[in-house]
């Protein structure tokens, strides 16, 4: 029943009505162009300069370009579901808000808690990565680490997080303009790499396009192996068909971040049209760039030269610069460092924007302190912006991230699964809702998207799954200790003031 206990659902009408509350009102000023910029800004990061070469050398060979196509298809299936939800429920919070309308408050809390993990941790990890690139640019590795007594901290990470927090505090439109400028710079670097590298392509390097399968000498064991390997006892392998699929699982994470576009739904002009255009436009642009880079990369050098331990790579891992250095193009390292610096700047910005909007939505619903959801005269949730900036700065400056990066991936995929299932549920429960975009072939497409995301989750380590479940358990405790008792929807249902859905029986939506 819609109004009972932890499964009480917040109607789409109530969610939209809440966006007009004067004290928690966001300003609508983003267009489809702005959303496309945000999407490209967060997806094109340092991964294009590092992930591509390492995966080509160790896992897929020249077929890495096909792996990117497969990953893009899986990501595109999830994007279809996000586009329908975002155009139907144009409210801040992304998967959190969508889940509130379909699965109920408890599921919404779980996905919100999950998104907090995804965005905050991703912002901190990428902030530290930005600092490493800064060290390379200024020519002194490790120079961004400072010491106060026995305490060491990363001042480079503090610098970028502080600057991004200031920009977000000024306004979303300003953030979009800054993202557009920096994104143009990093795309220019990527295009330069593609154009210059194309002159050094040798056709014989593409053969064989899918190399014969080889046993993996570095297969992990215990909790460090993938959940799929742990469940089936299967050993890892490189190249071949399995290597191609494994590579698709790896490079899928280069696309992670497009879902941030959906968190800005409430600040978008004409969201029914702008949100789908922004989501699909950004996905199309980054797919073309990734495939082009991988074709150039594997055409410039033989894939075996990019493998860990090869004479060209040595003890480190291959990067895009490795292929250019092999062809005597030494300036590429400088260009790639600047491209990585620009790329990570916008990734941090958009990830932190997504974090503030999810936390804003949860606070407005009372699942987090309501006082955090107050906006200033410019429609900016200033308190949340400063709190998020402070927490991310501390994480990035003082804590090593290490394998916690995988936590970002599992959190994102979990959100994808719920959104895809939610499309099927909302089609059945609310067929009357106007939809600016409709997923074709429902329920087939959402089910395929769930299977694709599920497969990718199986390729994450057992250790990552354990950490994820621990984080979720903490979230459950916080919900019952605070969120369930303070829920705005819960109070409205008791008072009989909640807005029922268009096809709901008013008697059933009261506790």
Q: Which long-range contacts (CB under 8 A, 24 or more apart) does 450-454 make?
A: 450/417, 450/420, 450/421, 452/73, 452/74, 452/77, 452/78, 453/74, 453/78, 453/413, 453/416, 453/417, 453/420, 454/417
What integer pLDDT is reported at residue 506 of this predicted model? 36
Determine which of 249-253, 285-289, 352-356 has the lowest per-residue pLDDT on average: 249-253
- Residue 413 to residue 320: CA distance in whole angstroms: 27
What integer pLDDT is reported at residue 156 of this predicted model? 87
Q: How many CB atoms lie within 10 A of CB 105?
A: 23
Cβ neighbors of 360 (< 8 A, separation 6 or more) are 24, 26, 92, 93, 372, 373, 381, 384
What integer pLDDT is reported at residue 96 of this predicted model? 85
- Read off the pLDDT of each residue in 135-154 and give the average, rounded to a whole number: 72
Q: 332-364 and 32-43 helices cross at what angle (nearest 10)?
A: 120
- Judged against a pLDDT cut of 50, whether residue 273 lies above it is answered with yes
- Judged against a pLDDT cut of 90, whether residue 387 lies above it is answered with yes
For 351-375, b/e burial (b = at least 16 CB within 10 A) is: bbbbbbbbbbbbbbbbbbeeebbbb
What integer pLDDT is reported at residue 36 of this predicted model? 83
What integer pLDDT is reported at residue 401 of this predicted model? 56
- Judged against a pLDDT cut of 90, whether residue 277 lies above it is answered with no
- Read off the pLDDT of each residue in 19-27 and give the average, rounded to a whole number: 74
- Read off the pLDDT of each residue in 254-272 and give the average, rounded to a whole number: 75
DSSP-derived 3-state class of residue 128: helix
pLDDT in tens, 450-503: 998 888 888 777 888 888 899 899 999 999 999 888 888 888 877 777 666 555
- Read off the pLDDT of each residue in 61-78 and give the average, rounded to a whole number: 89
Instruction: Name the residue with higher pLDDT: 411 or 172.
Output: 411
Measured between its terminal Cα atoms, the distance across the chain in Å is: 10
Q: Which domains occur in the chain, in start order?
A: 10-22+29-493 (1.20.1740.10)
- Read off the pLDDT of each residue in 250-275 and give the average, rounded to a whole number: 76
Determine which of 16-25, 48-57, 61-70, 304-313 has the lowest per-residue pLDDT on average: 16-25
Cα-Cα-Cα-Cα dihedral of 142, 146, 147, 148, to 10°?
-170
**Are the C-beta atoms of residues 336 and 320 closer than 8 Å to each other?**
yes
What integer pLDDT is reported at residue 436 of this predicted model? 81
What integer pLDDT is reported at residue 510 of this predicted model? 33
**Are the C-beta atoms of residues 167 and 178 closer than 8 Å to each other?**
yes
What integer pLDDT is reported at residue 195 of this predicted model? 92
Determine which of 57-66, 287-296, 418-427, 490-499 has the lowest per-residue pLDDT on average: 490-499
- Read off the pLDDT of each residue in 190-215 and give the average, rounded to a whole number: 89
- Judged against a pLDDT cut of 80, whether residue 291 lies above it is answered with yes
- Residue 65 to residue 294: CA distance in whole angstroms: 5
Please report which confidence band the pLDDT of residue 509 belongs to, taking 50, 70 and 90 as the band edges: very low
Instruction: Name the residue with higher pLDDT: 265 or 191.
Output: 191
What integer pLDDT is reported at residue 295 of this predicted model? 94
- Judged against a pLDDT cut of 80, whether residue 393 lies above it is answered with yes
DSSP per residue, 11-43:
-HHHHHHHTT-GGGPPP--B-HHHHHHHHHHHH
Instruction: Name the residue with higher pLDDT: 126 or 470.
Output: 470
- Judged against a pLDDT cut of 90, whether residue 205 lies above it is answered with yes
What integer pLDDT is reported at residue 282 of this predicted model? 85
Determine which of 123-137, 153-167, 185-199 has the lowest per-residue pLDDT on average: 123-137
Instruction: Name the residue with higher pLDDT: 86 or 402.
Output: 86
- Residue 379 to residue 392: CA distance in whole angstroms: 22
What integer pLDDT is reported at residue 299 of this predicted model? 94
Instruction: Name the residue with higher pLDDT: 253 or 34.
Output: 34
- Judged against a pLDDT cut of 80, whether residue 402 lies above it is answered with no
Mean of per-residue pLDDT scores for the chain: 81
- Read off the pLDDT of each residue in 227-232 and give the average, rounded to a whole number: 77
DSSP-derived 3-state class of residue 149: coil
Sole residue written with tokens 């991988």: 294
- Residue 223 to residue 264: CA distance in whole angstroms: 37
* CA-closest candidate to residue 449, choices 48, 96, 84, 47: 84
Determine which of 145-159, 190-204, 221-235, 433-447 has the lowest per-residue pLDDT on average: 221-235
- Judged against a pLDDT cut of 80, whether residue 219 lies above it is answered with no
Instruction: Name the residue with higher pLDDT: 510 or 271.
Output: 271
- Judged against a pLDDT cut of 90, whether residue 204 lies above it is answered with yes
């Amino acid at each position: 029943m819609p109004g009972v206990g932890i499964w009480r659902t917040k109607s789409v009408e109530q969610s939209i009505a809440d966006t007009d509350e004067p004290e928690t009102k966001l300003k609508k000023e983003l267009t489809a162009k702005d959303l496309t910029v945000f999407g490209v800004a967060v997806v094109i990061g340092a991964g294009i300069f590092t992930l591509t070469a390492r995966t080509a050398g160790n896992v897929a060979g020249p077929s890495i370009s096909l792996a990117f196509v497969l990953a893009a298809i899986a990501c595109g299936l999830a994007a279809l579901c996000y586009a329908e939800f975002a155009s139907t429920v144009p409210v801040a919070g992304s998967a959190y808000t969508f889940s509130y309308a379909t699965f109920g408050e408890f599921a919404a809390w779980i996905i919100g808690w999950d998104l907090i993990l995804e965005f905050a941790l991703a912002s901190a990890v990428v902030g530290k990565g930005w600092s490493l690139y800064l060290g390379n640019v200024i020519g002194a590795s490790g120079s961004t680490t400072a010491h106060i007594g026995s305490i060491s901290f990363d001042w480079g990470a503090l610098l970028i997080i502080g600057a991004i927090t200031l920009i977000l505090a000024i306004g979303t439109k300003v953030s979009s303009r800054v993202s557009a400028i920096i994104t143009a710079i990093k795309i220019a670097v990527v295009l330069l790499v593609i154009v210059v590298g194309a002159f050094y392509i040798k056709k014989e390097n593409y053969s064989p396009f899918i190399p014969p399968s080889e046993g993996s000498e570095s297969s992990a064991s215990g909790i460090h192996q993938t959940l799929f390997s742990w469940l089936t006892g299967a050993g890892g392998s490189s190249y071949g068909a399995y290597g191609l699929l494994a590579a698709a699982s790896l490079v899928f994470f280069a696309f992670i971040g497009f879902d941030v576009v959906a968190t800005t739904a409430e600040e978008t002009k004409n969201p029914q049209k702008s949100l789908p255009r922004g989501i699909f436009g950004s996905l199309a642009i980054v797919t073309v760039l990734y495939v082009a880079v991988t074709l150039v990369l594997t055409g410039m050098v033989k894939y075996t030269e990019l493998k860990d331990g090869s004479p060209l790579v040595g003890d480190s891992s291959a990067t895009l610069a490795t292929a250019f250095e092999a062809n005597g193009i030494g300036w590429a390292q400088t260009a790639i460092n600047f491209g990585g610096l620009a790329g990570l700047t916008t990734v941090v910005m958009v990830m932190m924007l997504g974090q503030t909007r999810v936390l804003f939505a949860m606070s407005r619903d009372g699942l987090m302190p309501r006082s955090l959801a107050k906006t200033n005269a410019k429609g900016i949730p200033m308190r949340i912006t400063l709190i998020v900036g402070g927490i991310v700065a501390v994480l990035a400056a003082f804590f090593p991230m290490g394998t916690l990066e995988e936590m970002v991936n599992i959190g994102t995929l979990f959100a994808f699964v719920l959104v895809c299932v939610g499309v099927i549920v909302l089609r059945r429960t609310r067929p009357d809702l106007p939809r600016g975009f409709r997923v074709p072939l429902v329920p087939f497409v959402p089910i395929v998207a769930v299977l694709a995301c599920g497969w990718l989750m199986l390729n994450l380590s057992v250790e990552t799954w354990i950490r994820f479940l621990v984080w979720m358990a903490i979230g459950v405790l916080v919900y019952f200790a605070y969120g369930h008792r303070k829920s705005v929807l819960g109070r409205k249902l008791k008072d009989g003031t909640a807005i029922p859905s268009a096809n709901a029986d008013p008697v059933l939506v009261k506790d």
